[in-house]
Amino acid sequence: MGIIERMKLDGKKGFVTGGARGIGKCTAAAFAEAGADVAIVDLDLATAQNTAEEIAAATGRKVIAVGCDVTSEAQVQAMVDSVVKELGGLNFCHANAGICINAPADSMTYAQWKKNIDVNLNSMFLTDTIAGRYMLANGGGSIINTASMSAHIVNVPQPQCAYNASKAGVIQLTKSLAIEWAKRGVRVNSISPGYIGTDLTLSSPDLQPLIARWNAMAPMGRLGMPEELASICVYLAGDTSSFTTGSDFILDGAFTCF
């Protein structure tokens, strides 16, 4: 079998958290285009259902929607159980759900800090370990975590210490699980996007002055687009990345190079 055929995801089953929109929607669509059956997991079940129907119609794959609060251990366990039952197995997952709270550290409340850590880091532990237990017991699999270039730099001008810390934690969690599971058939990698022009980002009036400044600082002079992250996720979900684990892929248009 040639390399192109091996890059396909025919017969594989997976899910994407935060999959209803933005980066998650684009990677879910790419997984389905590559031949996988996919679950769109999101707190916003109605939008997840619309996304699932849209991707299914475009690709002909089985695409389902599952509502889930990824900070709840019980809900994540129920979600993984539902995905396995509805799709017939679990070969990969993209743990992508996340939030960003911009607040100066000296005025940030502990509730704000905790929410950012819960959604961005604690949910990764729940998603990775619950999905990982199934994969470890059923022939292996691939886990992809969304970190951020903010794990590598301190963004300016916006104050976001909780976000930066949470995403740095995602990378170290990724590496730790990769080492633990390297000989047991489960690979764990992360992607670190730079500033990405999702629909939500581009439509926010509060972000327009920041976008102008970010673009002025960016070597490529622009935001990335969600579609520009999808191919690396398809690679990581498939068999051609069988020797790739514990890696973080920075996808930022060279923003962190200086």
- Residues serving a catalytic function are 148, 163, 167
Sheet with 186-193, edge to edge strand ranges: 63-67, 37-42, 13-17, 92-95, 141-146, 186-193, 248-251
Side-chain half-sphere CA neighbours of 47 within 13 A: 13
Q: 196 forms bridges with which residues in the sheet?
A: 224
Phi, psi of 2 (to 5 degrees): -75, 170
SS3 for 28?
A: helix
Extended strands (E) in the chain: 13-17, 37-42, 63-67, 92-95, 141-146, 186-193, 248-251
Q: Are 171 and 190 in contact (CB under 8 A)?
A: yes
Nearest C-alpha neighbor of 56 from the set 78, 77, 32:
32
